[in-house]
């Protein structure tokens, strides 16, 4: 409870508010009219008057009627957690996509409140089919909102199409997404891992989302790493819905990096929230590397020992101080390559575009050139007349890339498992 209010206070400060007081109440069931009890409302009214407050924020979602009833008593604005989070998102949104997605979520929130108020009114009016006076206005408002929402969805579809085109340019690249509770250190980690020089030079990715960077895992393997929206307890569902296309990045990643702030007293609950949110995104079963971050600020040595014992596969790091980053890269590489397939391809040098495709989709371990005749190959030293020069490419590839190469090369018998020493070519 206290931790939840701490988080709410953090959110409030993020939105630019100064927090002066907190009130809590335990109730077996919330009061339908005001959520909190009537005595509590009085206490709240006294407090807001004393402090001359501008705003009261509730950690629980309130119905429009409850908001209206409490506001009447306290003489200042009342916002619930969902409204607060939507406000923060609105003020943070920078890109066209983010702005559109937030507006869509805000309208959805507003619309649901209209609907609920409408339900309430129609009940007052005495039932089905009767049209009360306030109802007409609300229906008109709804129609305006629906129209605007339809327009925003069209805009998002358009942005989506552009993104899909951009993602095509990433063919063959391994992608990783940073996920985690808000404030876990995802952005700091990406900054620490990303190769700035590469980013600046690599024109190909200049059009990608600003949050996707190239990270070099070792001298011949790099990944495209994306930073994403932080998750939070009770993340408004509407927000997840409208941020689907941003979160597509997560869904389409090859691997996930789950960043955890170990200095947070509630880190375990936060890990659960992240797992649940990933479940909603249908991304829960992806290979995931857990990174316990901020170990530089960790005072509890027993906790550290316990974490190491309970999570032997996790990485312990400090994004801020650059601790554990090499291990992180090694472990990430292992995770990425754990089900890679190793193969050898034989491709006539007269087909450079096929050779290029192997390079694009696979990680080349070794490449050499040989001469082939009558379906067999001979080494370059024993040149044969009329023979064809062939590239022998020994490579590794992710299963999905391997499948694509098989489709392109297998019918010609140009693809062999790595163990096969005797090559055959049906060119
Ligand atoms: N002590 C310490 N602080 C860190 C570390 N990594 C990040 N921080 C701090 O934690 C805060 C949040 O870091 P961000 O990188 O913005 O976190 P985030 O996960 O991107 O947060 P959202 O974008 O809000 O989801 C910042 O004040 C960072 O300086 C670390 O390793 N050690
Ligand atoms: Mg961030």
Which two three-digit tokens encode residue 158?
A: 């358009």
User: What length does the chain have?
Assistant: 427
318 CA from centroid of ligand 1 (Å):
10
- Looking at the structure, tell me whether residues 312 and 238 fall in a common domain: yes
Q: Is 293 in the pocket of ligand 1 (CB under 6 A)?
A: yes
The DSSP bridge pattern shows strands 288-293 and 255-261 to be parallel
Is 424 one of the annotated binding-site residues? Answer: no
Residue 276 lies in a domain: yes
CA of 243 to the centre of ligand 1 (A): 22
For 292, residues 6+ apart whose C-beta sits below 8 A from its C-beta are 260, 262, 307, 311, 314, 315, 316, 317
- ipTM beyond cut 0.95: yes
Answer yes or no: do 267 and 370 share one domain: no
Residue 423 domain flag: no
Query: Using a 6 Å cutoff on CB, does residue 324 contact ligand 1?
Result: no
- Per the domain annotation, does 427 fall within a domain? no
Examine residue 424 and state whether it is found in any structural domain, yes or no. Answer: no
Report the separation in Å between the CA atom of 320 and the middle of ligand 1, taken as the mean of its atom positions: 8
Domains in the chain: how many in total?
4
323: in domain? yes
Phi, psi of 80 (to 5 degrees): -100, 175
- Closest ligand to 179 CA? 1
DSSP string spanning 292-330? EE-GGG---HHHHHHHHHH-TT-EE-BTTTTBSHHHHHH
Same domain, 123 and 221: no
The pair of three-digit structure tokens given for residue 188, joined into one six-digit string: 């700091």
| Per-position pLDDT tens, the chain of length 427 | 778 888 888 888 888 889 999 999 999 999 999 999 999 999 999 999 999 999 999 999 888 889 889 998 998 889 988 888 888 888 777 778 888 888 998 898 888 777 544 444 444 444 444 444 466 777 888 889 999 999 999 998 998 888 778 777 677 789 999 999 988 998 889 989 986 543 433 332 222 344 788 899 988 788 999 888 888 887 777 777 777 777 888 888 999 999 999 999 999 999 999 999 999 888 889 999 999 999 999 988 899 999 999 999 999 999 999 999 999 999 999 999 998 999 998 888 888 888 999 998 998 999 998 877 644 444 444 455 566 788 899 999 988 888 888 888 877 767 777 765 555 554 4
* Ligand 1 contact via 184 beta carbon (within 6 Å): yes
Q: The tokens of 109 are what?
A: 């929130």
End-of-domain residue from the set 124, 148, 167: 167
* Residue 20 belongs to domain spanning: 2-88
- Here the CATH number for the domain that contains residue 389 is 3.30.70
Are 278 and 203 found together in one domain? Answer: yes
Structure tokens at 71: 């506001």
Residue closest by Cα to atom 28 of ligand 1: 185
Structure tokens at 194: 């990303």
Residue that finishes a domain, picked among 88, 117, 134: 88
CA triplet 198, 399, 199: central angle to 5 degrees?
10
Same domain as 278, residue 200: yes
Q: Are residues 216 and 333 in the same domain?
A: yes
- Claim to verify: residue 235 and residue 298 sit in the same structural domain: yes
| Residue 19 burial class via C-beta count within 10 angstroms: exposed 0-12, middle 13-18, buried 19 and up | middle
314 with 271, same domain: the answer is yes
Residue-wise pLDDT for 129-163, tens only, equals: 444 446 677 788 888 999 999 999 999 899 888 87
Sheet holding 341-348, edge to edge: 376-378, 363-373, 388-397, 341-348, 415-417
Which of residues 337, 359, 376 is at a domain's end?
A: 337
Say whether both 63 and 109 belong to one domain.
no
- Residue 420's φ and ψ, nearest 5 degrees, are -60, 120
**Residue whose CB lies within 8 A of the most ligand 1 atoms, among 88, 185, 193, 324, for a mutation test:** 185
Q: Are residues 188 and 84 in the same domain?
A: no
Pair (314, 214) in one structural domain: yes
Ligand 1 centroid – CA 106 distance (Å): 27
| Ion ligand 2 nearby residues (CB, 5 A) | 186-187
Which H or E run includes 109? helix 96-124
From the CA of 184, give the closest atom in ligand 1: 19
Q: What is the CATH number of the domain that holds 330?
A: 3.40.50.300
pLDDT in tens, 286-308: 999 999 999 999 988 899 999 99
- Are 68 and 18 found together in one domain? yes
């Amino acid at each position: 409870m206290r931790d939840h209010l701490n988080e709410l206070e953090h959110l409030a400060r993020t939105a630019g508010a100064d927090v002066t007081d907190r009130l809590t109440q335990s109730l077996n069931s919330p009061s339908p009219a005001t959520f909190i009890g009537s005595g509590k409302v009085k206490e709240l009214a006294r407090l807001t008057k004393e402090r001359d407050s501008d705003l009261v924020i509730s950690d629980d979602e309130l119905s429009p009627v409850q908001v209206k009833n409490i506001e009447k008593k306290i003489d200042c604005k009342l916002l619930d957690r969902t409204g607060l989070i939507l406000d923060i998102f609105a003020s943070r949104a920078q890109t066209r996509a983010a702005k559109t997605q937030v507006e869509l979520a805000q309208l959805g929130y507003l619309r649901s409140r209209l609907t609920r108020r409408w339900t309430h009114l129609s009940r007052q009016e005495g039932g089905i089919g009767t049209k009360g006076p306030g109802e007409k206005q609300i229906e008109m408002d709804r129609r305006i909102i629906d129209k605007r929402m339809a327009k925003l969805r069209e805009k998002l579809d358009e942005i989506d199409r552009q993104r899909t085109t951009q993602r095509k340019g990433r063919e063959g690249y391994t992608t990783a997404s940073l996920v985690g509770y808000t404030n876990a250190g995802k952005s700091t980690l990406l900054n620490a891992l990303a190769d700035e020089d590469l980013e600046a030079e690599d024109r190909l990715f200049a059009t990608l989302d600003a949050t996707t960077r190239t990270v070099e895992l070792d001298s011949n393997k790099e990944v495209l790493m994306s930073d994403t929206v932080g998750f939070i307890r009770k993340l408004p569902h509407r927000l997840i819905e409208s941020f689907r296309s941003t979160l597509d990045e997560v869904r389409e990643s090859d691997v996930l990096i789950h960043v955890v702030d170990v200095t947070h007293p509630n880190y375990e609950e936060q890990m659960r929230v992240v797992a649940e949110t990933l479940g909603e995104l249908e991304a829960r079963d992806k290979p995931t590397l857990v990174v316990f971050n901020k170990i530089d600020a960790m005072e509890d040595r027993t906790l550290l020992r316990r974490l190491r014992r309970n999570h032997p596969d996790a990485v312990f790091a400090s994004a801020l101080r650059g601790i554990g980053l090499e291990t992180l890269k090694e472990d990430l590489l292992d995770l990425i390559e754990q089900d890679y397939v190793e193969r050898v391809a034989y491709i006539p040098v007269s087909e450079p575009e096929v050779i290029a495709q192997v390079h694009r989709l696979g990680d080349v371990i070794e490449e050499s050139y040989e001469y082939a005749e009558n379906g067999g190959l001979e080494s370059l030293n024993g040149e044969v007349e009329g023979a064809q020069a062939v590239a022998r490419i020994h490579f590794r590839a992710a299963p999905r890339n391997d499948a694509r190469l098989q489709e392109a090369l297998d019918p010609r018998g140009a693809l062999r498992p790595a163990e096969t020493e005797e090559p055959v070519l049906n060119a």
